[in-house]
Amino acid sequence: MENDQLMKEVTLRAEQWLGDSYDAETRAEVKRMLDAEDKTDLIESFYRDLEFGTGGLRGIMGAGTNRMNIYTVGAATQGLANYLKEAFKDLPEISVAVGHDVRNNSRKFAEIVADIFSANGIKVYLFDSFRPTPELSFAIRHFGCQSGVNITASHNPKIYNGYKAYWEDGAQIIAPHDVNIIDHVNRIKDVKEIKFDGDKSKIQIIGADVDKIYLEKIKGLSLSPEAIERNKDMKIVYTPIHGTGVELIPASLRNFGFQNIIHVDEQDVPSGDFPTVESPNPEVPSAMAMAIAKAKEVGADIVMASDPDADRVGCVIRDNKGEYVLLNGNQIVMILLNYIITRNQELGTLKGNEFVVKTIVTTETIKRICDANKVKMYDCYTGFKWIAAVMRDNEDVLRYIGGGEESYGFLAETFVRDKDAVSACSLLAEACAWAMDKGMDFQAMLADIYCKYGFSMEVGVSVVRPGKTGAEEIQAMMKAFRENPPKTLAGSPVEEVKDYASLNVTKADGSVEKLNFPTTSNVLQWFTADGSKISVRPSGTEPKIKFYMEVRVPMASPADYDAVRAQAAAKIDALKKDLNI
């Protein structure tokens, strides 16, 4: 009976999409699903509305209420436009910037977004073609816009697309605007409420001029031009993995002074099908395989990649055996911040009013680096919108010099408010040149950091529990962790528990302090006497619970690197056993 009711509701929803308000292609696709013997596609496409969440939309492309298409994108844009006209009603003109990535339908969706904004009397700055996500953030600030939209699904599989909404500071939207926009989007009940007929006089196409200004701003971040000049021929392999970094990242590297940029030709082809990889994600070793093969062929000093919208950066270096190994996101952030802080010290520009930001699940080695160099460090929730919020709170008081997260995101500048692979790649290459100037390679530079601040190993584990029973099991796991927290982990006493749902910090002696965070979150953290940190949180978008494990081992000499790694790996195994994962 329950299935019969679901089919009845799904069929009624789908039949509404056969009306004249929908285009012929959409109607034909819906009719195909209605007539098909297998109703799986119909159910998946119409069983719910694609939810406009705090970051926007993300979903599989296709016809239906639960799919990314011109109508779900249209409703999101109309709702955002309605809120902008309410929030900025006193402005003589409201303006937005609109960008997109290389994905299938991204240009189409971006043009529809621009049309809807313009039909609502809003000025639109529309990029002439695909661009990196951080350049959209830059454009919002550069043109003094009140909002912006980027059409991208980041590094998701090719069947996905997405819609990221930004506010006037160039950052993704947080409270109170996030919930207010969601409310306005949810008020759109009929496709006829969406103003699809654009006003072309309100749409200004932007492109190369903005690229030039953006790249010059990034060049201003350079701290070691002399080291680059001496090592300008170092071999840099870069791949955009078919994405938006294809033009601007090599251009930025050349702008910094590097002259030997080696391409992975097959992956320089922008394509929403990402034909050479299973997943266009530089976190995944297989996505880096072609770049590593090219690096072996030419003897590269450094290998870098960006994801399809060029906000995440991947990096491969040679280890002490000469093998090319993928750095994790923690190591990338750690190397970049250590380089920026050290170089500022060398230049005499570290004045004591600097700050950095990291997310709570990112390595604590960063705090050790900051404490040792008297740089203030802030923790925030996962996601660059929270890093941007800390930047906004401190921009008139302290000097931001960098921030990042373990999921391969880094931002060195203030003229962008989202993670930026264009500047991150440029600074990684510069840090490599600086290290070479000191007679080190990147592996030696990494070992030097570990000797100064202690070796850390970070491993993430996701435990998948699908379906309704899985969601209940995940909820029960979090409840059990809160009611019966572990007393020891990997043989070390738990000294502190942070519960971001209650914003309480509980010490081993039972005393409780409060966490200073802007809102609550379903995250638990345990800190042990030997310096380990374990974070656990249910995923907000997938049926899984995530464990972030970080263990520490003292490291006296670079020669101890392999032995220390083995000790850390044994600690990770012990943690997994204790947590039953």
The rounded distance, in Å, linking the Cα atoms of 287 and 136 is 25
Establish whether the linkage from the previous residue to 176 is cis, with ω within 30° of 0: yes
The rounded distance, in Å, linking the Cα atoms of 132 and 152 is 10
**Tokens in use for 95?**
């303006």
Strand partners, 512: 506
Exposure string over 14-25, b if 16+ CB within 10 A, otherwise e: beebeeeebeee
CB-CB neighbours of 488 under 10 Å: 12
The rounded distance, in Å, linking the Cα atoms of 38 and 40 is 6
* Class of residue 521 by CB neighbours under 10 A (exposed 0-12, middle 13-18, buried 19+): middle
CB-CB neighbours of 548 under 10 Å: 24
Pick the closest to residue 61 from 19, 21, 109 (CA basis).
Answer: 109
Catalytic entry in 45, 106, 154, 426: 154
CB 378 within 8 A of CB 370: no
The rounded distance, in Å, linking the Cα atoms of 558 and 213 is 42
CB 87 within 8 A of CB 177: yes
Helix (H) or strand (E) holding 444: helix 442-453
**Tokens in use for 90?**
């006193």
At position 240, the amino acid (one-letter code) is P
Which are the contacts of 257, defined by CB distance < 8 A and separation ≥ 6?
225, 228, 229, 232
CB 390 within 8 A of CB 378: yes
The rounded distance, in Å, linking the Cα atoms of 515 and 540 is 22
DSSP 8-state code for residue 287: G
Which are the contacts of 346, defined by CB distance < 8 A and separation ≥ 6?
none
Q: Residue 286, SS3?
A: helix
At position 445, the amino acid (one-letter code) is M
**Tokens in use for 548?**
């972030």
CB 488 within 8 A of CB 497: no
- Distance (Å) of CA 102 to CA 111, 276, 420: 14, 15, 17
154 catalytic? Reply is yes
For the residues of 534-576, what is the DSSP string, one character each?
EEEEE-SSSSEEEEEEEEEE----GGGHHHHHHHHHHHHHHHH
The rounded distance, in Å, linking the Cα atoms of 170 and 135 is 10
Strand partners, 315: 304
- Kindly list the catalytic residues: 154
